[in-house]
Amino acid sequence: MGIATRTRTKPKKPSQFKVLMLNDDYTPMEFVVMVLKGFFRMDMEQATQVMLHVHQRGVGVCGIYPYEIAETKVTQVMDFARQNQHPLQCTLEKA
């Protein structure tokens, strides 16, 4: 009689994706801060830091999420920006 060995497979963590905000010369800084506070649950200080980082470096990370959540956030931000006539761009990439 053989010994039953069970190989335990660890559940794979879902891939994480970075939500990135891209700089443009038209979207007001206040609007970017409002987006970061509203969609990414940042406080004023954190939102301001990320906004300045995006402004100076051209791109900044808003948050890291599983794919579906990251994709939803990108869509929400882009829709909200368009509704307010801003060209703000948001995208995602694998973390």
Residue 6 has pLDDT above 90, yes or no: no
Q: Which fold has domain 16-94?
A: Ribosomal Protein L30; Chain: A, (3.30.1390)
Q: d(Cα 25, Cα 55) in Å, to the nearest integer?
A: 9
For the chain, give every domain's residue range: 16-94
| Per-residue pLDDT tens over the stretch 24-68 | 999 999 999 999 999 999 999 999 999 999 999 999 999 999 999
Residue 22 has pLDDT above 90, yes or no: yes
The reported pLDDT for the residue numbered 19 is: 98
Residue 4 has pLDDT above 70, yes or no: no
pTM recorded for the entire structure: 0.84
The reported pLDDT for the residue numbered 12 is: 72
| Per-residue pLDDT tens over the stretch 70-84 | 999 999 999 999 999
